[in-house]
Amino acid sequence: MRWTMEHLAAAVIDVLVYPGPGHDQDPHDPGGHAYTHLRPATKTETPLMVEFVLEANHAADWVYRGEGGLNIVLAYNGSSPRFIGKVLRVRKLKTNESGYAIAPSALSEHERLVWKEVGDLLSASTKDVANHKYAHLVMCPLLGSQHVDPGVRVLVTKGFLELIHNGVLLERPSWRVDNGRVNTLLDSAILMSDHSIFQHAVHEEEVCISVEIKPKCGFLPTSRFIREENEAKKRISRFKLHQILKFHQRKISQISEYDPLDMFSGSKVRVAKSIKNLFLTPQNNFRVFLNGKLVFGTLGGEADDTNTQIAEQFEKTLKDFFKADDERGTRTPDFLQLVAGAVYESGILDRLLKVQKLDVFDIEGAIHAYYDVVSQPCAVCRELHQPTDSVIHSIPFDQRLKIVRDFLASLTAKDLSLMISFRPTPKGNTQSPSIYIESLDQSFDYKASFIDLDMKPLEKMPYYYKLDQEIVSCYTQMMKTVNQPEKSFLYQEQTPAIEDNSHT
Ligand SMILES: O=P(O)(O)O[C@@H]1[C@@H](OP(=O)(O)O)[C@H](OP(=O)(O)O)[C@H](O)[C@H](OP(=O)(O)O)[C@H]1OP(=O)(O)O
Ligand SMILES: Nc1ncnc2c1ncn2[C@@H]1O[C@H](COP(=O)(O)OP(=O)(O)OP(=O)(O)O)[C@@H](O)[C@H]1O
Ligand SMILES: [Zn+2]
């Protein structure tokens, strides 16, 4: 069906007036998630900066914990009570970055426009400070302060950062080393709670197992701006579509069975299925730590698919953790049940989903607003030969700003990770929340926290649009060849499906 200008105008006004199901008021969350939430914090309960300088002689106490595209995270291995139970997140300098990284200016002129309602964000002197304030002022109210520790900034010397850079080199995946290094030009880093250990342990000998899940986008877009040829986006999750492109680009060796739509479904059975699939194909979406040490998955990168050897090794680890008698068989199903139980019972993903759903228009709609915000002619209207006065270009400017702002906040929510830590609880001593595993006759207290709440750069919007189109067109190409398997890269190159080694 072809959309007339009137159809589109009505669609936009609909969404602007009625924020949609993702924005419904939650009776348990009277604050809601609308952007009225994003007022500048009047008072910050915790200081954003502590007066402490990490110098070269402190570097030996910090060990590699992991990394993503932009940061390296270090765990504390020393004895100072100030740092026990903390991690340090230091910014990387990408190999292809130049001036920006040397003098990382704060928000760009256009970002200042987008985030003008969050006044305190604008006072940030560097991008790094802005990112930290963003986690505190924007993401924390959206996701719930009980699930977010934005951390505090601590000063670091160049000597400290240089020693850290050298110290972690051998631990890092080599492709990450090629892509970037510790940015030794910065003077601060973020100190935050280590979510891979149970905070405030009652006894020193207490054991803790924790999982890290990068759930990705948990809903199907319904935006009327999605073009007809891209309809697949409305039926298949972004993660599943992206898997096909990643496989084609040889970034992954196997297409995962994990589907975020299961994870966010609110159905106990589907949540359990999604956890099992993450276990089988962890990629960069699933890790397990035992007392802060990685025992499943890969630090800083994509893990191999779970073969028999990996599954058996993990099973041994679990036997130590669960301390149940050996005759009872495998522990992996108990563990997966524990994780699925916490995800399901905590309801934490419902809250995350609401924030993800701030993306109402999809990139195919938001991109038009972007070009207006940055005062450039709309490259998408030009490419599609649409008149540049297309409907989004004609709504009030503040609403176009809101579309972009909501889109960016949603992107952070689609890329963050969830960490859940568990400790066995002595009988009759459970602290809320906890999960009871019947087969073990054991309860576990748990805590769930979100990590990686950085602001996504406004300037990357054309890239997001391009990637989105690349993902959907790769899928379309694959479907064209699906009746001619010999021509399809999927059929030519896919490795045989691994057996289910999870014993579940
Ligand atoms: O675009 P996506 O969905 O591939 O997400 C990127 C992630 O890839 P993934 O598909 O999860 O392996 C990507 O993860 P990896 O670096 O591949 O582990 C980053 O998280 C990236 O964020 P940023 O550019 O570092 O801020 C993420 O980019 P953003 O799109 O969130 O900026
Ligand atoms: N507070 C924390 N507690 C324990 N581990 C953490 C914490 N923060 C980060 N990590 C570990 O460090 C890794 C990298 O951190 P993070 O995701 O913040 O990096 P990033 O570069 O911002 O990621 P991205 O690629 O998504 O931008 C995480 O995958 C996790 O294993
Ligand atoms: Zn346009």
Which atom in ligand 1 lies closest to the alpha carbon of residue 412?
Answer: 31
Flag whether 291 is in a domain. Answer: yes
User: What does the block give as tokens for 210?
Assistant: 């924790």
Co-location of 184 and 241 in the same domain: no
461 Cα–ligand 1 center, Å: 13
89 Cα–ligand 2 center, Å: 8
Co-location of 245 and 298 in the same domain: yes
Co-location of 298 and 365 in the same domain: yes
User: What does the block give as tokens for 385?
Assistant: 């030969």
Is 285 touching ligand 2 by the criterion CB < 6 Å? no
Report the number of distinct structural domains present in the chain: 2
- The residues with which 30 forms a beta bridge, in sequence order, are none
Is 411 touching ligand 1 by the criterion CB < 6 Å? yes
CATH of the domain at 113: 3.30.200.110
Co-location of 166 and 274 in the same domain: no
Give residue 490's pLDDT.
53
Ligand nearest to the CA of 459: 1
Flag whether 203 is in a domain. Answer: no
Flag whether 239 is in a domain. Answer: yes
Whether pTM > 0.95 for this model: the answer is no
Is 131 touching ligand 2 by the criterion CB < 6 Å? no
User: What does the block give as tokens for 147?
Assistant: 């699930």
Give residue 483's pLDDT.
60
The ipTM estimated for the assembled molecules is: 0.97
Co-location of 310 and 216 in the same domain: yes
Tell me if residue 363 falls in helix, strand or coil: helix
Nearest 5°: phi and psi at 171? -85, -20
Co-location of 271 and 406 in the same domain: yes
Co-location of 331 and 474 in the same domain: yes
Residue nearest to atom 3 of ligand 1 (CA): 415
Co-location of 359 and 229 in the same domain: yes
Range of 272's domain? 210-493
C-alpha radius of gyration, the chain, whole number: 23
Co-location of 100 and 219 in the same domain: no
Is 16 touching ligand 1 by the criterion CB < 6 Å? no
66 Cα–ligand 2 center, Å: 6
Flag whether 20 is in a domain. Answer: no
Co-location of 126 and 275 in the same domain: no
Flag whether 503 is in a domain. Answer: no
Q: Which of 153, 168, 194 is the last residue of a domain?
A: 194
Give residue 51's pLDDT.
75
Mean per-residue pLDDT pooled into runs of 10, the chain (504 residues): 38 34 31 38 55 92 94 95 94 76 74 92 88 95 94 95 96 93 92 87 73 98 95 97 96 95 97 98 96 91 88 91 72 96 96 98 97 96 78 95 98 98 83 86 93 96 98 93 59 39 35
Q: Which residues surround ligand 3, an ion (CB under 5 A)?
A: 368, 378, 380-381
C-alpha to C-alpha distance for 218 and 216, rounded to whole angstroms: 6
Co-location of 232 and 114 in the same domain: no
Residue nearest to atom 11 of ligand 1 (CA): 415
Flag whether 8 is in a domain. Answer: no
Transcribe 164-218 into DSSP letters: HHHHHGGGS-HHHHHHEEE-TT--EEEEEE-TTS-TT-SSTT---EEEEE-----
